[in-house]
A and B are shown apart, each in its own frame.
Chain A
Amino acid sequence: MAHAIPPPICIPIAEHALLVQWENRIDPLLNDAVQHLYRVLSAMNPPGLLDLVPAYSSLALVLDLAWFDRQFPEANPLQVAQGWVESALKTPGNFEAVAGRLVEIPVCYESDFAPDLERLAAWAGMNASEIIAHHFGPEYRVYMLGFLPGFAYMGTVDERIAAPRLVRPRERVAAGSVGIAGLQTGIYPLESPGGWNLIGRTPLRLFDPQRPEPVLLRPGDRVRFRAISTDEFNQIEQTP
Protein backbone atom coordinates (compact mmCIF):
# COMPACT_ATOMS: atom_id res chain seq x y z
CA MET A 1 0.00 0.00 0.00
CA ALA A 2 2.79 2.38 0.92
CA HIS A 3 4.06 2.22 -2.64
CA ALA A 4 0.86 3.79 -3.86
CA ILE A 5 1.67 7.22 -2.45
CA PRO A 6 3.62 9.78 -4.48
CA PRO A 7 7.15 10.36 -3.17
CA PRO A 8 7.80 13.40 -0.97
CA ILE A 9 9.70 16.48 -2.01
CA CYS A 10 12.61 17.94 -0.03
CA ILE A 11 12.51 21.70 0.50
CA PRO A 12 15.22 23.66 2.32
CA ILE A 13 13.15 25.97 4.56
CA ALA A 14 16.13 27.57 6.33
CA GLU A 15 19.92 27.27 6.09
CA HIS A 16 19.63 24.74 8.89
CA ALA A 17 16.33 23.01 8.14
CA LEU A 18 15.09 20.62 5.49
CA LEU A 19 11.40 19.88 5.06
CA VAL A 20 10.32 16.53 3.63
CA GLN A 21 6.80 17.06 2.42
CA TRP A 22 4.16 14.71 1.13
CA GLU A 23 0.73 15.85 -0.11
CA ASN A 24 -1.07 18.34 2.10
CA ARG A 25 -3.80 16.21 3.69
CA ILE A 26 -4.68 14.08 6.69
CA ASP A 27 -4.23 10.56 5.40
CA PRO A 28 -3.12 7.49 7.36
CA LEU A 29 -1.00 6.26 4.45
CA LEU A 30 0.92 9.53 4.22
CA ASN A 31 1.30 9.55 7.99
CA ASP A 32 2.62 5.96 7.84
CA ALA A 33 5.33 7.22 5.53
CA VAL A 34 6.12 10.10 7.94
CA GLN A 35 6.29 7.70 10.90
CA HIS A 36 8.54 5.35 8.97
CA LEU A 37 10.94 8.11 8.00
CA TYR A 38 10.88 9.45 11.54
CA ARG A 39 11.72 6.05 13.03
CA VAL A 40 14.53 5.35 10.59
CA LEU A 41 16.09 8.81 10.99
CA SER A 42 15.86 8.76 14.77
CA ALA A 43 17.45 5.30 14.80
CA MET A 44 20.19 6.56 12.45
CA ASN A 45 20.62 9.58 14.74
CA PRO A 46 23.36 11.05 12.54
CA PRO A 47 25.68 13.57 14.20
CA GLY A 48 24.79 17.12 13.27
CA LEU A 49 21.06 16.40 13.44
CA LEU A 50 19.51 18.59 16.14
CA ASP A 51 15.82 17.78 15.95
CA LEU A 52 13.14 15.98 13.95
CA VAL A 53 9.66 17.46 13.58
CA PRO A 54 7.24 14.86 12.27
CA ALA A 55 3.77 16.19 11.43
CA TYR A 56 0.65 14.98 9.55
CA SER A 57 2.26 14.59 6.15
CA SER A 58 5.66 16.18 6.53
CA LEU A 59 8.83 15.84 8.54
CA ALA A 60 11.45 18.50 9.15
CA LEU A 61 15.11 17.97 9.99
CA VAL A 62 16.78 20.71 12.03
CA LEU A 63 20.56 20.77 11.69
CA ASP A 64 23.34 21.88 14.01
CA LEU A 65 25.40 24.04 11.68
CA ALA A 66 28.02 24.76 14.36
CA TRP A 67 28.68 21.03 14.43
CA PHE A 68 29.12 20.97 10.65
CA ASP A 69 31.51 23.97 10.89
CA ARG A 70 33.69 22.07 13.32
CA GLN A 71 33.55 18.53 12.04
CA PHE A 72 32.63 18.71 8.41
CA PRO A 73 33.47 22.21 7.14
CA GLU A 74 33.64 21.25 3.48
CA ALA A 75 30.16 19.70 3.44
CA ASN A 76 26.89 21.30 2.41
CA PRO A 77 24.74 20.41 5.45
CA LEU A 78 21.43 20.53 3.58
CA GLN A 79 22.79 18.17 0.94
CA VAL A 80 24.08 15.85 3.63
CA ALA A 81 20.64 15.89 5.26
CA GLN A 82 18.99 15.17 1.93
CA GLY A 83 21.30 12.17 1.64
CA TRP A 84 20.13 10.91 5.04
CA VAL A 85 16.51 11.28 3.92
CA GLU A 86 17.10 9.48 0.64
CA SER A 87 18.76 6.53 2.28
CA ALA A 88 16.13 6.44 5.02
CA LEU A 89 13.33 6.43 2.44
CA LYS A 90 14.98 3.44 0.76
CA THR A 91 15.14 1.54 4.03
CA PRO A 92 12.42 -1.07 3.77
CA GLY A 93 9.71 -0.66 6.36
CA ASN A 94 6.95 -2.87 7.53
CA PHE A 95 4.40 -0.37 8.77
CA GLU A 96 2.34 -3.03 10.50
CA ALA A 97 5.39 -4.13 12.48
CA VAL A 98 6.17 -0.62 13.69
CA ALA A 99 2.57 0.29 14.54
CA GLY A 100 2.49 2.24 17.78
CA ARG A 101 1.33 1.05 21.16
CA LEU A 102 -2.37 0.83 21.96
CA VAL A 103 -3.14 3.28 24.76
CA GLU A 104 -6.46 3.42 26.57
CA ILE A 105 -7.50 6.83 27.85
CA PRO A 106 -10.39 7.14 30.31
CA VAL A 107 -12.59 10.14 29.58
CA CYS A 108 -15.40 11.54 31.69
CA TYR A 109 -18.04 13.03 29.40
CA GLU A 110 -20.21 14.38 32.27
CA SER A 111 -21.53 17.88 31.70
CA ASP A 112 -19.16 19.54 34.20
CA PHE A 113 -16.29 18.56 31.92
CA ALA A 114 -18.08 19.01 28.60
CA PRO A 115 -18.99 22.68 28.11
CA ASP A 116 -19.46 22.28 24.35
CA LEU A 117 -21.28 18.95 24.28
CA GLU A 118 -24.82 20.34 24.04
CA ARG A 119 -23.89 22.84 21.35
CA LEU A 120 -22.07 20.15 19.41
CA ALA A 121 -25.11 17.91 19.71
CA ALA A 122 -27.30 20.68 18.29
CA TRP A 123 -24.77 21.24 15.49
CA ALA A 124 -24.77 17.54 14.62
CA GLY A 125 -28.50 17.04 15.11
CA MET A 126 -27.93 14.30 17.68
CA ASN A 127 -28.31 13.91 21.41
CA ALA A 128 -25.33 14.12 23.74
CA SER A 129 -25.03 10.38 24.31
CA GLU A 130 -24.85 9.76 20.57
CA ILE A 131 -22.02 12.29 20.29
CA ILE A 132 -20.19 10.55 23.12
CA ALA A 133 -20.69 7.13 21.54
CA HIS A 134 -19.37 8.42 18.23
CA HIS A 135 -16.36 9.88 19.97
CA PHE A 136 -15.26 6.85 22.00
CA GLY A 137 -16.29 4.33 19.39
CA PRO A 138 -13.37 4.34 16.99
CA GLU A 139 -9.70 3.70 17.54
CA TYR A 140 -7.63 6.78 16.78
CA ARG A 141 -4.14 7.29 15.53
CA VAL A 142 -1.76 9.83 17.02
CA TYR A 143 -0.83 11.58 13.80
CA MET A 144 1.54 14.02 15.44
CA LEU A 145 2.28 16.09 18.53
CA GLY A 146 2.51 19.87 18.55
CA PHE A 147 0.99 23.09 19.90
CA LEU A 148 1.90 22.25 23.52
CA PRO A 149 4.22 19.70 25.12
CA GLY A 150 2.39 16.39 24.83
CA PHE A 151 -0.54 17.67 22.77
CA ALA A 152 -1.45 14.77 20.46
CA TYR A 153 -3.37 15.42 17.27
CA MET A 154 -5.55 12.32 16.87
CA GLY A 155 -7.89 11.31 14.10
CA THR A 156 -9.92 10.92 12.35
CA VAL A 157 -13.15 11.87 14.02
CA ASP A 158 -16.48 10.62 12.66
CA GLU A 159 -17.57 13.23 10.10
CA ARG A 160 -20.96 13.61 11.75
CA ILE A 161 -19.40 15.10 14.89
CA ALA A 162 -16.46 16.88 13.21
CA ALA A 163 -17.49 20.41 14.23
CA PRO A 164 -15.18 23.30 13.34
CA ARG A 165 -13.12 25.17 15.95
CA LEU A 166 -14.76 27.83 18.11
CA VAL A 167 -14.91 31.24 16.45
CA ARG A 168 -13.75 32.76 19.74
CA PRO A 169 -11.13 30.58 21.44
CA ARG A 170 -11.29 30.27 25.23
CA GLU A 171 -8.61 32.01 27.22
CA ARG A 172 -8.36 29.10 29.61
CA VAL A 173 -8.93 25.44 28.92
CA ALA A 174 -8.31 23.05 31.83
CA ALA A 175 -5.57 20.43 31.57
CA GLY A 176 -7.00 17.07 30.52
CA SER A 177 -9.82 18.60 28.46
CA VAL A 178 -10.77 16.49 25.46
CA GLY A 179 -11.75 18.40 22.36
CA ILE A 180 -12.80 18.10 18.75
CA ALA A 181 -11.65 20.36 15.91
CA GLY A 182 -12.87 19.18 12.53
CA LEU A 183 -11.64 15.65 11.90
CA GLN A 184 -9.15 15.91 14.78
CA THR A 185 -9.52 15.10 18.44
CA GLY A 186 -7.02 16.06 21.09
CA ILE A 187 -6.36 16.43 24.81
CA TYR A 188 -4.98 19.59 26.39
CA PRO A 189 -1.91 18.52 28.38
CA LEU A 190 -1.70 21.84 30.24
CA GLU A 191 -4.05 24.63 31.10
CA SER A 192 -3.84 26.91 28.09
CA PRO A 193 -5.90 29.01 25.70
CA GLY A 194 -7.76 26.87 23.18
CA GLY A 195 -10.38 26.82 20.47
CA TRP A 196 -11.44 23.17 20.31
CA ASN A 197 -14.97 21.96 21.18
CA LEU A 198 -14.66 20.49 24.67
CA ILE A 199 -16.67 17.32 25.24
CA GLY A 200 -14.95 15.64 28.18
CA ARG A 201 -11.91 15.40 30.39
CA THR A 202 -9.37 12.73 31.25
CA PRO A 203 -7.85 12.34 34.72
CA LEU A 204 -4.60 11.11 33.15
CA ARG A 205 -1.65 13.47 32.95
CA LEU A 206 -0.67 13.77 29.32
CA PHE A 207 2.37 15.78 30.32
CA ASP A 208 4.33 15.70 33.56
CA PRO A 209 7.87 17.09 33.51
CA GLN A 210 8.75 15.11 36.66
CA ARG A 211 8.22 11.74 34.96
CA PRO A 212 11.17 10.04 33.25
CA GLU A 213 8.96 10.02 30.14
CA PRO A 214 7.24 13.39 30.48
CA VAL A 215 4.87 12.83 27.56
CA LEU A 216 2.23 10.07 27.60
CA LEU A 217 1.45 9.72 23.89
CA ARG A 218 3.92 9.32 21.06
CA PRO A 219 3.51 9.81 17.35
CA GLY A 220 2.10 6.63 15.81
CA ASP A 221 0.38 5.40 18.99
CA ARG A 222 -3.17 4.06 18.72
CA VAL A 223 -5.66 5.43 21.20
CA ARG A 224 -9.00 4.19 22.51
CA PHE A 225 -11.15 6.32 24.78
CA ARG A 226 -13.15 4.71 27.58
CA ALA A 227 -16.13 6.55 29.04
CA ILE A 228 -15.94 6.85 32.82
CA SER A 229 -18.12 8.32 35.56
CA THR A 230 -17.24 11.35 37.67
CA ASP A 231 -16.52 9.00 40.59
CA GLU A 232 -14.06 7.01 38.56
CA PHE A 233 -12.53 10.25 37.28
CA ASN A 234 -11.88 11.40 40.85
CA GLN A 235 -10.56 7.99 41.82
CA ILE A 236 -8.03 7.88 38.98
CA GLU A 237 -7.05 11.50 39.49
CA GLN A 238 -6.19 10.83 43.14
CA THR A 239 -4.12 7.76 42.31
CA PRO A 240 -0.52 8.85 42.11
Chain B
Amino acid sequence: MSLLVLKTGLLDSVQDLGRWGYAHLGIHAAGAADPVGLQVANLLAGNEPGTAALEMHFPAPVLRFEKAAFFALGGADFHARLDGMDVPVGTPVHAAAGSKLVFLRQVRGMRTYLTVRGGFELDPWLGSFSTDLMAGTGGLQGRALQAGDRLPFRQTWSDAAPSRIFPWRANVSGLYPSEGMFRFLPGPEHDLLDEASRQRLETSEWRFGRRANRMGCLAEGSMLALHEKLELVSSVVLPGTVQLLPGGDMLILLADCQTTGGYPRIAQVVSADLSGLAQQRPGEGFRLRKVGLDEATEAGLEQRRVLGRLGWGAICLLEYSLKKD
Protein backbone atom coordinates (compact mmCIF):
# COMPACT_ATOMS: atom_id res chain seq x y z
CA MET B 1 0.00 0.00 0.00
CA SER B 2 2.80 2.38 -0.84
CA LEU B 3 4.67 4.25 -3.47
CA LEU B 4 7.97 2.42 -3.82
CA VAL B 5 11.13 4.13 -5.06
CA LEU B 6 12.76 1.73 -7.54
CA LYS B 7 15.53 4.07 -8.60
CA THR B 8 16.87 7.13 -6.75
CA GLY B 9 16.35 10.53 -8.35
CA LEU B 10 18.49 13.66 -8.07
CA LEU B 11 16.69 15.17 -5.08
CA ASP B 12 13.24 13.99 -4.09
CA SER B 13 11.63 14.93 -0.82
CA VAL B 14 8.22 15.16 0.80
CA GLN B 15 6.96 18.74 1.00
CA ASP B 16 3.78 20.55 1.92
CA LEU B 17 3.14 24.28 2.22
CA GLY B 18 5.79 24.65 4.91
CA ARG B 19 6.45 24.64 8.61
CA TRP B 20 5.43 28.08 9.80
CA GLY B 21 5.57 29.46 13.33
CA TYR B 22 9.10 28.49 14.34
CA ALA B 23 11.26 31.17 12.74
CA HIS B 24 12.04 32.57 16.21
CA LEU B 25 13.96 29.32 16.84
CA GLY B 26 15.83 29.57 13.55
CA ILE B 27 13.65 26.85 12.00
CA HIS B 28 12.85 27.81 8.43
CA ALA B 29 9.56 26.96 6.76
CA ALA B 30 10.87 24.72 3.93
CA GLY B 31 7.88 23.41 1.94
CA ALA B 32 7.33 23.11 -1.80
CA ALA B 33 9.64 25.36 -3.82
CA ASP B 34 6.72 25.75 -6.26
CA PRO B 35 3.66 25.97 -4.02
CA VAL B 36 1.37 26.41 -7.04
CA GLY B 37 2.56 23.11 -8.54
CA LEU B 38 1.94 21.36 -5.23
CA GLN B 39 -1.56 22.83 -4.98
CA VAL B 40 -2.50 22.04 -8.58
CA ALA B 41 -1.53 18.40 -8.08
CA ASN B 42 -3.56 18.22 -4.87
CA LEU B 43 -6.64 19.90 -6.28
CA LEU B 44 -6.62 17.54 -9.27
CA ALA B 45 -6.40 14.56 -6.94
CA GLY B 46 -9.28 15.91 -4.86
CA ASN B 47 -7.10 16.73 -1.83
CA GLU B 48 -6.81 19.78 0.39
CA PRO B 49 -4.44 22.07 -1.54
CA GLY B 50 -1.64 21.88 1.04
CA THR B 51 -1.52 18.09 1.39
CA ALA B 52 2.06 16.75 1.49
CA ALA B 53 3.35 15.58 -1.88
CA LEU B 54 6.56 14.23 -3.34
CA GLU B 55 8.70 17.01 -4.85
CA MET B 56 11.03 15.68 -7.55
CA HIS B 57 13.93 17.13 -9.51
CA PHE B 58 15.37 15.79 -12.75
CA PRO B 59 16.66 13.11 -13.20
CA ALA B 60 13.54 11.98 -11.36
CA PRO B 61 13.12 8.63 -9.61
CA VAL B 62 11.47 5.52 -11.00
CA LEU B 63 8.41 4.74 -8.92
CA ARG B 64 6.07 1.80 -8.47
CA PHE B 65 2.50 1.93 -7.18
CA GLU B 66 2.41 -1.19 -5.02
CA LYS B 67 -1.33 -0.77 -4.60
CA ALA B 68 -3.86 1.00 -6.80
CA ALA B 69 -3.80 4.76 -6.31
CA PHE B 70 -5.35 7.89 -7.62
CA PHE B 71 -2.70 10.52 -8.29
CA ALA B 72 -1.87 13.74 -10.13
CA LEU B 73 1.27 15.65 -11.11
CA GLY B 74 1.80 19.40 -10.82
CA GLY B 75 4.65 21.81 -11.58
CA ALA B 76 7.37 20.88 -14.05
CA ASP B 77 6.84 18.62 -17.06
CA PHE B 78 9.28 15.71 -16.98
CA HIS B 79 7.38 13.68 -19.60
CA ALA B 80 5.91 11.12 -17.23
CA ARG B 81 4.93 7.66 -18.46
CA LEU B 82 2.84 5.17 -16.53
CA ASP B 83 3.33 1.69 -17.99
CA GLY B 84 3.71 3.14 -21.46
CA MET B 85 0.94 5.76 -21.19
CA ASP B 86 1.87 9.42 -21.29
CA VAL B 87 0.79 11.24 -18.12
CA PRO B 88 0.29 14.98 -18.61
CA VAL B 89 0.87 17.43 -15.78
CA GLY B 90 -2.39 18.54 -14.17
CA THR B 91 -4.45 15.44 -14.98
CA PRO B 92 -5.93 12.94 -12.54
CA VAL B 93 -4.73 9.39 -13.03
CA HIS B 94 -5.81 6.04 -11.71
CA ALA B 95 -2.72 3.87 -11.33
CA ALA B 96 -3.27 0.14 -11.21
CA ALA B 97 -1.54 -1.89 -8.53
CA GLY B 98 1.98 -2.71 -9.70
CA SER B 99 2.15 0.02 -12.32
CA LYS B 100 5.46 1.79 -12.89
CA LEU B 101 5.94 5.54 -13.31
CA VAL B 102 9.01 6.90 -15.07
CA PHE B 103 10.07 10.39 -16.11
CA LEU B 104 11.80 10.57 -19.47
CA ARG B 105 12.92 14.10 -20.15
CA GLN B 106 13.07 17.55 -18.57
CA VAL B 107 10.63 19.21 -20.97
CA ARG B 108 9.90 22.29 -18.88
CA GLY B 109 10.62 23.46 -15.35
CA MET B 110 12.70 22.28 -12.42
CA ARG B 111 10.38 20.54 -9.95
CA THR B 112 7.39 18.29 -10.32
CA TYR B 113 4.94 17.26 -7.59
CA LEU B 114 3.24 13.90 -7.22
CA THR B 115 0.36 13.63 -4.85
CA VAL B 116 -1.96 10.70 -4.16
CA ARG B 117 -5.60 11.07 -3.23
CA GLY B 118 -5.80 10.94 0.57
CA GLY B 119 -2.12 11.78 0.97
CA PHE B 120 0.87 9.85 2.30
CA GLU B 121 0.91 8.30 5.76
CA LEU B 122 3.78 10.04 7.55
CA ASP B 123 4.44 11.64 10.93
CA PRO B 124 4.45 15.42 11.01
CA TRP B 125 7.23 17.33 12.73
CA LEU B 126 6.18 20.63 14.33
CA GLY B 127 2.90 20.52 12.48
CA SER B 128 4.26 19.98 8.98
CA PHE B 129 5.23 17.07 6.72
CA SER B 130 7.87 19.11 4.88
CA THR B 131 11.34 17.63 4.85
CA ASP B 132 13.87 19.91 6.51
CA LEU B 133 16.91 18.65 4.62
CA MET B 134 19.32 20.77 6.64
CA ALA B 135 18.05 19.71 10.06
CA GLY B 136 17.46 16.15 8.88
CA THR B 137 13.90 15.94 10.10
CA GLY B 138 10.33 15.95 8.76
CA GLY B 139 9.10 14.17 5.63
CA LEU B 140 10.45 10.63 5.32
CA GLN B 141 13.21 10.26 7.95
CA GLY B 142 14.31 13.85 7.34
CA ARG B 143 16.07 13.09 4.08
CA ALA B 144 15.77 12.81 0.34
CA LEU B 145 14.21 9.60 -0.93
CA GLN B 146 16.35 6.74 -2.18
CA ALA B 147 15.77 3.41 -3.87
CA GLY B 148 13.89 1.04 -1.58
CA ASP B 149 12.00 3.79 0.29
CA ARG B 150 8.26 3.50 0.60
CA LEU B 151 5.70 6.27 1.01
CA PRO B 152 2.61 4.57 2.42
CA PHE B 153 -0.81 5.70 1.22
CA ARG B 154 -3.22 6.96 3.81
CA GLN B 155 -6.16 5.75 1.77
CA THR B 156 -6.28 2.44 -0.08
CA TRP B 157 -8.35 1.54 -3.12
CA SER B 158 -9.57 -1.94 -3.84
CA ASP B 159 -10.02 -0.94 -7.47
CA ALA B 160 -8.78 -3.67 -9.79
CA ALA B 161 -9.38 -1.55 -12.91
CA PRO B 162 -6.48 -0.97 -15.30
CA SER B 163 -4.57 2.30 -15.18
CA ARG B 164 -6.45 5.21 -16.67
CA ILE B 165 -5.60 8.79 -17.54
CA PHE B 166 -8.65 10.99 -16.98
CA PRO B 167 -9.70 12.98 -20.03
CA TRP B 168 -9.20 16.51 -18.70
CA ARG B 169 -6.32 18.73 -17.90
CA ALA B 170 -5.94 21.75 -15.65
CA ASN B 171 -5.29 25.05 -17.39
CA VAL B 172 -2.39 26.48 -15.42
CA SER B 173 -1.48 29.27 -17.83
CA GLY B 174 -2.77 31.98 -15.51
CA LEU B 175 -0.88 30.57 -12.55
CA TYR B 176 2.69 31.15 -13.70
CA PRO B 177 4.23 34.42 -14.88
CA SER B 178 4.66 34.63 -18.62
CA GLU B 179 7.91 34.68 -20.58
CA GLY B 180 10.48 34.90 -17.84
CA MET B 181 9.25 38.17 -16.39
CA PHE B 182 9.21 38.34 -12.62
CA ARG B 183 7.68 41.22 -10.70
CA PHE B 184 9.31 42.54 -7.57
CA LEU B 185 8.72 44.96 -4.75
CA PRO B 186 11.67 47.12 -3.73
CA GLY B 187 13.31 45.51 -0.70
CA PRO B 188 14.08 47.37 2.54
CA GLU B 189 17.62 48.12 1.29
CA HIS B 190 16.68 48.88 -2.33
CA ASP B 191 17.46 52.56 -1.80
CA LEU B 192 21.07 51.70 -0.99
CA LEU B 193 21.65 50.70 -4.63
CA ASP B 194 23.34 53.38 -6.67
CA GLU B 195 21.30 55.00 -9.45
CA ALA B 196 22.86 52.93 -12.24
CA SER B 197 22.30 49.68 -10.35
CA ARG B 198 18.67 50.50 -9.70
CA GLN B 199 18.30 50.93 -13.47
CA ARG B 200 20.23 47.76 -14.26
CA LEU B 201 18.08 45.73 -11.90
CA GLU B 202 15.10 46.40 -14.16
CA THR B 203 16.73 46.61 -17.59
CA SER B 204 19.27 43.78 -17.50
CA GLU B 205 18.67 40.38 -18.99
CA TRP B 206 19.33 38.03 -16.06
CA ARG B 207 20.18 34.36 -16.11
CA PHE B 208 20.04 31.75 -13.41
CA GLY B 209 23.44 30.46 -12.43
CA ARG B 210 24.44 26.82 -12.52
CA ARG B 211 24.50 26.39 -8.78
CA ALA B 212 20.80 26.52 -8.03
CA ASN B 213 19.18 24.54 -5.25
CA ARG B 214 16.19 24.71 -2.96
CA MET B 215 17.88 27.40 -0.89
CA GLY B 216 18.30 29.79 -3.75
CA CYS B 217 20.16 30.62 -6.91
CA LEU B 218 22.59 33.22 -8.15
CA ALA B 219 21.42 35.56 -10.89
CA GLU B 220 24.02 36.35 -13.53
CA GLY B 221 24.02 39.16 -16.03
CA SER B 222 25.10 42.35 -14.36
CA MET B 223 26.95 43.55 -11.28
CA LEU B 224 25.15 45.83 -8.88
CA ALA B 225 26.66 48.25 -6.38
CA LEU B 226 25.56 50.23 -3.35
CA HIS B 227 26.08 53.97 -3.13
CA GLU B 228 26.78 53.55 0.53
CA LYS B 229 28.44 50.63 2.24
CA LEU B 230 26.47 49.51 5.23
CA GLU B 231 27.02 46.75 7.79
CA LEU B 232 23.60 45.30 8.45
CA VAL B 233 22.69 43.38 11.56
CA SER B 234 20.86 40.15 10.70
CA SER B 235 17.19 40.54 9.90
CA VAL B 236 14.38 38.59 8.24
CA VAL B 237 14.66 37.02 4.78
CA LEU B 238 11.88 35.17 2.95
CA PRO B 239 11.51 32.99 -0.10
CA GLY B 240 11.64 35.49 -2.97
CA THR B 241 14.02 37.87 -1.19
CA VAL B 242 16.78 39.08 -3.51
CA GLN B 243 20.04 39.70 -1.63
CA LEU B 244 23.03 41.61 -2.91
CA LEU B 245 26.20 39.67 -2.10
CA PRO B 246 29.45 41.50 -1.28
CA GLY B 247 30.87 40.82 -4.77
CA GLY B 248 27.90 42.47 -6.53
CA ASP B 249 26.03 39.27 -7.43
CA MET B 250 22.34 38.78 -6.71
CA LEU B 251 21.16 35.79 -4.72
CA ILE B 252 17.46 34.95 -5.06
CA LEU B 253 16.18 32.95 -2.13
CA LEU B 254 13.79 30.01 -2.41
CA ALA B 255 11.85 27.74 -0.04
CA ASP B 256 14.84 26.43 1.93
CA CYS B 257 16.29 29.85 2.72
CA GLN B 258 17.36 30.69 6.26
CA THR B 259 15.07 32.72 8.48
CA THR B 260 17.45 35.69 8.69
CA GLY B 261 20.38 37.13 6.77
CA GLY B 262 22.79 40.02 6.81
CA TYR B 263 23.09 41.02 3.13
CA PRO B 264 21.15 43.96 1.70
CA ARG B 265 17.66 42.94 0.58
CA ILE B 266 17.32 44.86 -2.65
CA ALA B 267 14.12 43.26 -3.90
CA GLN B 268 11.31 40.88 -3.04
CA VAL B 269 9.80 38.82 -5.85
CA VAL B 270 6.02 39.01 -5.50
CA SER B 271 4.39 35.86 -4.12
CA ALA B 272 2.39 35.27 -7.30
CA ASP B 273 5.65 34.89 -9.26
CA LEU B 274 7.52 32.76 -6.73
CA SER B 275 6.37 29.46 -8.20
CA GLY B 276 7.49 30.52 -11.67
CA LEU B 277 10.84 31.50 -10.21
CA ALA B 278 11.26 28.06 -8.66
CA GLN B 279 10.61 26.48 -12.07
CA GLN B 280 13.30 28.55 -13.81
CA ARG B 281 16.15 26.36 -14.99
CA PRO B 282 19.83 27.27 -14.73
CA GLY B 283 20.88 29.24 -17.80
CA GLU B 284 17.36 30.42 -18.63
CA GLY B 285 16.98 34.16 -19.05
CA PHE B 286 14.57 36.38 -17.18
CA ARG B 287 13.81 40.00 -16.46
CA LEU B 288 12.67 41.81 -13.36
CA ARG B 289 9.93 44.42 -13.27
CA LYS B 290 9.28 46.70 -10.33
CA VAL B 291 5.67 46.92 -9.18
CA GLY B 292 3.79 48.53 -6.33
CA LEU B 293 2.21 46.82 -3.37
CA ASP B 294 -1.28 47.07 -4.91
CA GLU B 295 -0.30 45.21 -8.07
CA ALA B 296 1.56 42.58 -6.06
CA THR B 297 -1.42 42.08 -3.76
CA GLU B 298 -3.87 41.87 -6.65
CA ALA B 299 -1.65 39.34 -8.46
CA GLY B 300 -1.53 37.13 -5.39
CA LEU B 301 -5.29 37.39 -4.88
CA GLU B 302 -5.95 36.53 -8.53
CA GLN B 303 -3.65 33.52 -8.31
CA ARG B 304 -5.50 32.24 -5.27
CA ARG B 305 -8.83 32.80 -7.05
CA VAL B 306 -7.67 30.79 -10.07
CA LEU B 307 -6.53 27.98 -7.77
CA GLY B 308 -9.89 28.09 -5.99
CA ARG B 309 -11.79 27.78 -9.29
CA LEU B 310 -9.49 24.98 -10.39
CA GLY B 311 -10.26 23.14 -7.17
CA TRP B 312 -14.02 23.43 -7.66
CA GLY B 313 -13.77 22.34 -11.26
CA ALA B 314 -11.66 19.34 -10.37
CA ILE B 315 -14.07 18.22 -7.64
CA CYS B 316 -17.10 18.54 -9.94
CA LEU B 317 -15.43 16.60 -12.74
CA LEU B 318 -14.23 13.90 -10.38
CA GLU B 319 -17.66 13.41 -8.85
CA TYR B 320 -19.30 13.29 -12.24
CA SER B 321 -16.76 10.86 -13.60
CA LEU B 322 -16.72 8.56 -10.59
CA LYS B 323 -20.55 8.40 -10.59
CA LYS B 324 -20.56 7.52 -14.27
CA ASP B 325 -18.17 4.68 -13.53
Interface residues, chain A, with chain B CB atoms under 8 Å away: 11-17, 19, 21, 24-26, 38, 42, 50-58, 60, 62, 64-66, 69, 78, 144-153, 189-190, 192, 207, 209, 214-215, 218-219
Contact = CB atoms under 8 A, between A and B. Distances in A.
A190 B26 CA distance: 12
Contact of A51 (B29, B135, B300): B29
Nearest to A57: B233
The binding surface of chain A is classed by DSSP as: mixed
Given A66-B304, A153-B234, A192-B134, 16 more contacts: A13-B185, A15-B270, A21-B235, A50-B20, A51-B20, A144-B234, A146-B259, A147-B26, A148-B134, A149-B25, A149-B27, A150-B25, A190-B135, A214-B27, A215-B25, A215-B26
Nearest to B268: A14
B24 A145 contact: yes
A58 B235 contact: yes
Given A145-B25, A149-B26, A13 B234 contact: no
A17 B234 contact: no
A146 B233 contact: no
B235 A209 contact: no
A146 B238 CA distance: 12
Contacts of B135: 148-149, 190, 207, 209
Contacts of B142: 209
Interface of B: 20-29, 125-126, 132, 134-138, 142, 185, 187-188, 230, 232-236, 238, 240, 258-261, 265, 268, 270-271, 293, 296-297, 300-301, 304
A54 B296 contact: no
A13 B134 contact: no
The binding surface of chain B is classed by DSSP as: loop
Contact of A151 (B22, B26, B136): B26
Contacts of A60: 235-236, 238
Contacts of A207: 135
B176 to A, nearest CB: 17
A53 B25 contact: no
A124 B236 CA distance: 32
Contacts of B232: 24
Q: Among the interface residues A12, A54, A65, A145, which one has the most CB atoms of the partner chain B within 10 A?
A: A145
Nearest to A14: B268
B271 A148 contact: no
B132 A149 contact: yes
B271 A15 contact: yes
Nearest to B187: A13
A82 to B, nearest CB: 13
A239 B293 CA distance: 53
Contacts of A51: 20-23, 29
Lowest 5 CB-CB distances: which A-B pairs, in order? A146-B260, A209-B137, A60-B236, A145-B26, A56-B233
Given A66-B304, A209-B125, A146 B258 contact: yes
Contact of A53 (B236, B270, B297): B236
B234 A19 contact: no
B20 A53 contact: no
A24 B230 contact: yes
Nearest to A23: B233
